[in-house]
Structure 1
Amino acid sequence: MNESGAKTKLGTADVTAIMKLLPHRYPFLMVDRIVDMDGDRSATGIKNVTANEPYFQGHFPGNPVMPGVLLIEGMAQTAGALCMRFIDEFKQPPLVYFMAIDKARFRRPVVPGDTIHYYVKKMRNRGRVWRFKAEAHVDGTLVAEAEVSAVIVEN
């Protein structure tokens, strides 16, 4: 239920819908699906990590670990897609740019075979500036967290 007591319909976005919302493409698209989109308030992004990811060749040979910065990127892409779903004031599709990454913490490595759930929750937005609290979980365990801020700009 939302704040007024009405039931909230949770939305989803498959990879095709995500690519309509974000300019990112393989190998830099870090979200495969978004579920439980609650308006512009919160969402859960999902990333299936495979051994075929290009960064595993060098990070690290014989002990593949997903770079932490890509975990933050996945959280930010989930938040960015959530923002973009509700923007209709632009003549052309706008872009979302990082403004800040705060309170980033990495709790455990993410490896091939893991499925990451990115949980993002809007802290606030003022005009075209948005701020989200984000967490990445694997099998229910917190692996990374951060607060991310972004601005939406006309292309």
Structure 2
Amino acid sequence: MNLNDIIAQLPYTKPFLFVDELLHADENGVIGTYTFDEKLDFYQGHFKNNPVTPGVILTETMAQIGMVCLGIFLLHNELKKDTVIAFTSADVQFLKPVYPNEKVTVSSQKTFFRFGKLKCEVVMKNEAGQEVCKGTLSGMITARL
């Protein structure tokens, strides 16, 4: 499966698409990047005169790249129009701030995949190679009810 095809199948669009590029995908994990544009709306109020990327957005970025892209790769032959992707849990440690215009790299390792349920260990690093956050993310891919 082509890496650009995975991005095209993501159920998100701008301004809520947090995947710029996938660098690698296989049955065990994915690696991708995203640059946080300084014009994103949430920077207007988080925080006054010192914008920082909210933790919930970092978690979402980790989930989109590290879990959803991997799920699409793993199930690419089974995905249908009525497919629903659900984020079920996150346990994330935030280690360093991410500022506007920073490019991050997200890598994930599959720890569990069965019956449409996926669990991954995901790490986000800044351009200096420093971990900015890491954690365990879980989700599921299923048919719409």
What is the TM-score normalised by the length of structure 1? Answer: 0.83
Correspondent of 1:141 among 120, 130, 133: 130
Aligned to 2:70: 82
Aligned residues: 141
Q: Which one-letter code corresponds to 1:29 in the other structure?
A: L
Correspondent of 2:106 among 115, 118, 123: 118
- Please say if residues 30 and 69 of structure 2, whose CA atoms lie closer than 8 Å, have aligned partners that are also in contact: no
Query: Which runs of structure 1 show a deviation greater than 3 angstroms over 4 or more consecutive aligned residues?
Result: none
Alignment of 1:49-128 (within 5 A): 49-78=36-65, 79-87=67-75, 88-92=77-81, 94-102=83-91, 104-128=92-116
Aligned to 2:119: 131
- Please say if residues 106 and 124 of structure 2, whose CA atoms lie closer than 8 Å, have aligned partners that are also in contact: yes
Map Cα deviations across residues 84-113 of structure 1 (whole Å, 9 max, x no partner): 1232234425121111112x1000110012
Map Cα deviations across residues 51-98 of structure 1 (whole Å, 9 max, x no partner): 111110111121010011111111111121121123223442512111
SS in 2 for 1:122: strand
Alignment of 1:12-31 (within 5 A): 13-14=3-4, 17-18=6-7, 20-31=8-19
CA distance in 2, matches of 1:17, 1:150: 17
Aligned to 2:29: 42
CA distance in 1, matches of 2:102, 2:86: 27
CA distance in 1, matches of 2:80, 2:9: 15
RMSD: 1.7
Percent sequence identity over matched residues?
28
Map Cα deviations across residues 32-58 of structure 1 (whole Å, 9 max, x no partner): 111121x22111120112211111011
If you compute each CA radius of gyration, which structure gives the higher value, 1 or 2?
1
CA distance in 2, matches of 1:69, 1:100: 12
